[in-house]
Amino acid sequence: MNPMEFAIPVEDKQAFSQYYAKQIAPKCRRYESVRQEAAAKYQARSKISTPITYIGLLAFLACFALSIYGAVVLDFEGGVFFAGFGGAFGAGTLIAVVNIWAGNEISQLRAKIVEEIYPLLLGYFGKSFALNPPNLPELDAYNDYGLFPEYDKGYFQDSVRGQYLNVPFLMRELMLLEHKGTKDNRPQYKTIFDGIVLEFDLPKKFSGSTQVRQDKGLMGNGFMQFKQQLSRVKLEDPTFERQFEVYSDDQIEARYLLNTATMERLLSLSRFYRGDLEASFSNGRLLIKIACKHNYFEPKLDLLKPLDFADDIEQVFKEIHEVFDLIKALKLESRTGL
């Protein structure tokens, strides 16, 4: 596909086309013959794995039904339950093993291509951009923003570091878990947050603390205000007011931060990720938390077809430019005092 045909911002088309031809296209050509070989192996093995999978599924269902019969009807007598359970476990294991065998080469190649191509793709935006760089902040470093629910365990997945208009930022996938007891001597957890966080180092210095929270209704909003001891800030945008509640210890500063352009960008981010958004200006930084199922830089490659990064490239541009537009709307690059 001609890079000039990618659905990316017009101002990027010419420059990215040249970058693609120099940095990415040679890698794609080099991997194409390897991809063809891996795809041929997968298709050949699929002729074996596909019928085994169907037969295995039927066997799994039959054995599972037998185990239920042995447990409910026979009350675990005669060994029927254990025979059915063992058969179901064996069928499930066989399905997993045969499919791993069939797709082993193509899975490894996919991971290798993504590992090499995605850093190159991010490199178009600048040398500061990196996928999963080392020495990132630990989870505890984000607790002071006051946006996270109480959690017992959490972990990050993919992270992207970059800089735009002299504003460093960090995008990270995050999951927070709450301990819900123990079962079979193993701790059980419930997911209480699954989404992304975006952190910006602000050149401006803010003396106050301002939070943008989801509207939780009259009682929920009242409890939130009491809990954090911040004052409610009334804004003029009715669309923003229907979705969010704003709290701050500095009314003037909060209104300066949340001008019309800023509110539009926060609403746009919420729509883009189709998730609940909350934000906190504190300690010279801005943290945005969005609960969503969006996976950053989740490859869309289909290695059974000729290499085509169009979908991945267009998605990366959308993700990165959402951040760029927010920085411009907030005028985060400005060092003018409030």
8 half-sphere exposure, CB direction, 13 A CA radius:
27
Round to whole Å and give the CA distance between 194 and 202: 26
Q: Is 196 exposed, middle or buried (CB count within 10 Å of its CB: 0-12, 13-18, 19+)?
A: buried
Global pTM reads 0.76
Query: Going residue by residue through the chain (338 aa), what tens digit of pLDDT does each one get?
Result: 566 778 888 888 999 999 999 998 888 888 888 888 988 898 999 999 999 999 999 999 999 998 898 888 887 777 888 888 899 999 999 999 999 999 888 888 888 887 888 888 899 999 999 988 899 999 998 988 889 989 999 999 889 999 998 889 999 999 999 988 888 778 889 999 999 999 998 776 677 889 999 886 655 555 555 556 788 898 888 899 889 999 998 888 888 888 888 888 889 888 888 889 999 998 778 999 999 876 666 667 778 888 877 888 888 888 888 888 888 877 665 554 44
Structure tokens at 298: 């989740």
